[in-house]
Structure 1
Amino acid sequence: MTRSFEELIAEASEASVDGWDFSWLDGRATEERPSWGYRQLLGERLARASAGLDVQTGGGEVLAGVPVLPPAMAATEAWPPNIARATRLLHPRGVVVVADPDRPPLPFGDAAFDLVTSRHPVTVWWAEIARVLRPGGTYLAQHVGPASVWELVEYFLGPQPEAARARRPDDEAAGARAAGLDVVDVRSERLRMEFHDIGAVVWFLRKVIWIVPGFTVDGELSRLRELDARIRAEGPFVAHSARTLIEARKPETPA
């Protein structure tokens, strides 16, 4: 039986959005995955590291899935519900979870880690990453790329030409180099996303709050009704995420 607009909205509005687990969307939305396989790369690198730091770890779900962690492993997170979730997941694995406001400085000493990682950081503080890396150490991360999920952004906010130019891979690489890091690899891909019902859209925007800043159901009710009708008539709403893989290394000796 097809559920009504009101039923879908109510369900999505009440569902928990804590952590960084997207399984609530199973069967309701899909997203292609980057070809490089970040989780596998992360596991391979952490297995070889002696001291690792995962920046902006979210609820710790990605790090918790790594089979082998370094002897010393720390993670930072800013959002209190995620800090609690990451602590529950990662403490049993011996990971120290540190509440950090996501602004400099990172709460660690110079040259503390031989590997720093991050998946979808909101902000990248390149100078701090360089500071806490040991000479010869590596930063490996998957960043959100430019104009990610832009079809959904502009559906609610209208044209955003200036914002669409942010997070370009060449700018990311330039930021790393300006901090004294050598860029080893930069790759980017755009990946198809499909939202199969209006509840999936609402839950996604509640969880990923920077997509449509200030989003509320009441504030966007008319646009949500229009989008619900469009999905029912035409099929899934299609958008495209943008992902960038970046690897940068701290030189063994200062330049």
Structure 2
Amino acid sequence: MARMAVDRSFEDLVAEGAAAPTEGWDFSWFEGRASEERPSWGYAVSAGERLAHARAALDIQTGGGEVLDFALSRAEPARPPLAAATEGWPPNVAKATALLRPRGVVVVAAPDDAPLPFADETFDLVLSRHPVRPFWDEIARVLRPGGTYFAQHVGPASVFELVEYFLGPQPEQVRTARDPEHERADAEAAGLQVAGLRAQRLRMEFHDIAAVVHFLRKVVWMVPGFTVEEYEPRLRTLHERIEREGPFVAHSARHLFDVRRPAR
């Protein structure tokens, strides 16, 4: 009888995690279900300070526009005369457009792996929070001389405790992808100057299996092709582990880039 109660609870939680909407980068759904330490540098607040002094700003891979919207609210009453954002996933394009248009931001639908749809030397500030990968040549191209790329990137082996729970041990080249020093070298190869680079690993806790399901549906590159049906046995085992031992603990990796295009 106790086993049936556990099974019912597992099924209800999984169904809840599977039904939650995944558009945008609003993580308020996780309140009380999962937690993550925040980097000490406060990216969105710092981005707002920079926006207050920008003339033309671009946010790359804006998601649902939530981070840029917050940063712009911190910049007020100042705001860039020209502000644009790109996003590649259609549901996010619609969400970002509705959120950012009242702030005067033009949202452009653009694939994440395509050249940026802007002329050379258009922006004096380019922002990005958690880009899939930084295209340094394109960032350098659209920045004005003396302009800045200010971004928070996902670091190597981020949340790999969860990734490897589902996929098993990952090859070394996968674990070391997104290394900030490799990205520094790529930025410099594109002719940019790295004025600042900071990195941190941060504790995450998943308090129920619904949070795990929703997280893997939302952050789709963690366990590519994740479905509840395919991973049901591992999900059930993890649910029982959380019920028995408490939250599943993982660690995210984040690094902050402050990069300049040299002035002429």
Q: Does 1:59 align with 2:64?
A: yes
Q: Is this contact kept in 2: 1:104–1:125, CA < 8 A?
A: no
Q: Are the equivalent residues in 2 in contact too, given 1:205–1:212 (CA < 8 A)?
A: yes
Which string of whole-angstrom CA distances, capped at 9 and with x for unpartnered residues, describes residues 37-66 of structure 1? Answer: 101110000100000000000000001112
The reply to whether residue 113 of structure 1 matches residue 160 of structure 2 is no
Corresponding residue for 1:43? 48
| Corresponding residue of 1:214 | 225
Alpha-carbon offset, residue 162 of structure 1: 2.2
Instruction: Choose which of 14, 18, 33 in structure 1 pairs with 2:19.
Output: 14
Corresponding position: 1:193 with 2:209: no
Unaligned ranges ≥5, structure 2: none
Question: Which runs of structure 2 are paired with 1:1-255 in the superposition (5 Å)?
Answer: 4-66=9-71, 67=73, 68=75, 69-160=79-170, 161-253=172-264
Deviation at residue 103 of structure 1 after TM alignment: 2.2
Amino acid at match of 1:142: Q
Separation in 1, partners of 2:227, 2:20: 14
Q: Which runs of 5+ in 1 are unaligned?
A: none
SS in 2 for 1:48: coil
Residue 102 of structure 1 deviates from its aligned partner by: 1.4
SS where residue 114 of structure 1 aligns?
Answer: strand
CA RMSD of the aligned region, Å? 1.1
Q: Which amino acid aligns with 2:116?
A: L
- For 1:241, the aligned partner's letter is S
Identity of aligned residues (%): 66
Structure 1 segments (4+ residues) deviating >4 Å:
none
Shift of 1:123: 1.6
CA contact (8 A) 1:183 1:247 kept: yes
Cα distance between partner residues in 2 of 1:201 and 1:162: 25
How far did residue 104 of structure 1 move? 3.3
Alignment: residue pair count: 253
Instruction: Give, as a single letter, the amino acid of the residue that structure 2 aligns with 1:219.
Output: E
SS at match of 1:12: helix
- 3-state DSSP of counterpart to 2:127: strand
TM-score (normalised: structure 1): 0.97
